[in-house]
Homo-oligomer: A and B are copies of this chain.
């Protein structure tokens, strides 16, 4: 961090201990130490340079990523990094690659769905990267509806093999990351057919490419599906297409933890409960929520620092102009996102705990909390990824024109992030699952079955349908109990209203379809309540460090009151609060923005991101934006020559009115 710190005066205004906040953000002193050390390791290694990414051609870009993954793996083994350190290293290298799917989907799928023998055979190979695997579920014709997959795996009792086949064009596997060019193996999902009978979708381990020369094995057609959103961004990944022409695999490559096919071709359900699959989903989605807080905090860090550097208007008598971060409109767009980043961080932390809890219960054969945990992770995945995608783009707009330059880092961050709204469950489809769960919860309220976990508040539904918000002055909105009650009442009332409307339909399934837009809104209300309540719970913990807890309280209130303002219609329509109380909330929110203002820079410093990781001229730690923007510009290939290629053929003839005879 060379030279003058243009943001020094901002930093000196902070009213809390930034180093302690870093610990809170990281989760623990240990986590901070690891993150800090590994991020600096990556930042200082020229092999991990990424500033030229947006100007590389697809082939150059991809080869470059292969180089980085190999280099990363080399460093991981050389330095004997722990699993935690290795995963941090991949994170800070900050480039989507086949390794994400290998570690994040292929291995967990085998772990979750393989038998003991299968784990023993495949995991050591995968851990050493002697094989590279991907996760091939989605097909050209089916994504959300996994039960509609068309690929077949037909048991051949003669040879004790499965024959994997793509019967139609739409059955081509389509999208799996790492499939296009790299993976040697895949976990693929296909309909199990025995003796002409369809046993539904199951997972299989299939080798795709030769270990000798990397050529696709006989019967396999595989390639990359082409350019995706943005330059750089997700184009470092080889999302692939895959077709099978009667490819044979041994019977023991079906993942058989839950269902088995015997030598005789008998289909057997093991005594392992099917619900185990949900455990893996809880795991994967929990990592997605954690990623959301990372991506959003990164965008917020860039926009906040630049908003403190950027000055526009308001100069009196030739003095300096106003920093745009001082405009209330800028604050009302930026600070809720800052608060959201912290909120998502804490709910992510809690989800990690939830996953451990669920896993322990599963081991003890207790499935009681699973549906609730599953609905909750599905909903939080949807909520946080949608808000993050929108939030990154808002941060880009908050940077005015300069945010549109790749050197701001924001276009690529957006482009690489947005598919999180679609993969691992389309966000709307997930909300519908949450809604289904909520309707079930409401319908069982009379039955004496007590709602658990994040739906426990539904147990107090009678009270919540009646309660009146007690706010009389703006400051009353700072009380956690007041906020919680308002959010609980809103969510409960929306769910109950939906449930009542459903009773107007003779066929409940038809009713669900007809009212599905309202149902997704009830699901959102429920999920927002979870985030708010987990933030409030976090604040009940002992949090050391001067001023740290006070800042988090401000952020928590900003998050809650911003949501209240944004979804005011819900709160008013269900009668949870009055118009007068809404105005008071708004007044309180403005005052919270003023309180957050002097701490804004320090609050983003607490993310502890290196300039390398941020990858943004606008978000530089030292705030030295303009000279660096200027410097970056000249690196564009178009500036290689003063007169552009094409002048002689196209521009000159136009200017000289000599186009008539030109061949163009």
Contacts and interface: CB of A to CB of B under 8 A. Distances in A.
A67 interface: yes
A514 B66 contact: no
A568 B182 CA distance: 51
A422 interface: yes
B407 A226 contact: yes
Nearest to A230: B230
Interface in A426-442: 426-428, 432
A198 to B, nearest CB: 10
A223 B312 contact: no
A401 B415 contact: no
Contact of A73 (B54, B216, B567, B654): B654
A516 B331 CA distance: 10
**Copies of this protein in the complex:** 2
Instruction: Output the residue of A57, A228, A518, A575 with the most chain B CB within 10 A.
Output: A228
B73 A144 contact: no
Nearest to A636: B226
Given A62-B646, A229-B406, A224 B639 contact: yes
Contact of A401 (B175, B315, B516, B582): B175
A649 B69 CA distance: 12
A633 B225 CA distance: 4
A145 B330 CA distance: 16
Contacts of A228: 404-406, 411
Contacts of A415: 229-230, 411, 415
A74 B312 contact: no
A635 interface: yes
A100 interface: no
Nearest to A318: B198
A62 B639 CA distance: 12
A651 B404 CA distance: 35
A448 interface: no
A664 B633 contact: no
Contacts of A418: 393, 396-397, 404
Contacts of A142: 312
Contact of A630 (B57, B140, B180, B331): B140
A126 to B, nearest CB: 11
A636 to B, nearest CB: 4
B579 A568 contact: no
A647 to B, nearest CB: 5
B569 A227 contact: no
A3 interface: no
B140 A626 contact: yes
A58 B59 contact: no
A572 interface: yes
B231 A630 contact: no
Contacts of A647: 66, 214
Contacts of A636: 58, 223-227
A662 interface: yes
A313 B142 CA distance: 9
A653 interface: yes
Interface stretch (A109-117, A128-136, A279-287): A128-136
15 contacts: A54-B227, A70-B650, A70-B653, A70-B662, A129-B654, A132-B655, A143-B401, A215-B642, A224-B633, A224-B636, A234-B404, A328-B517, A396-B418, A403-B422, A514-B590
Name the 5 nearest CB pairs between A and B, nearest first: A568-B569, A229-B411, A332-B517, A66-B646, A70-B650
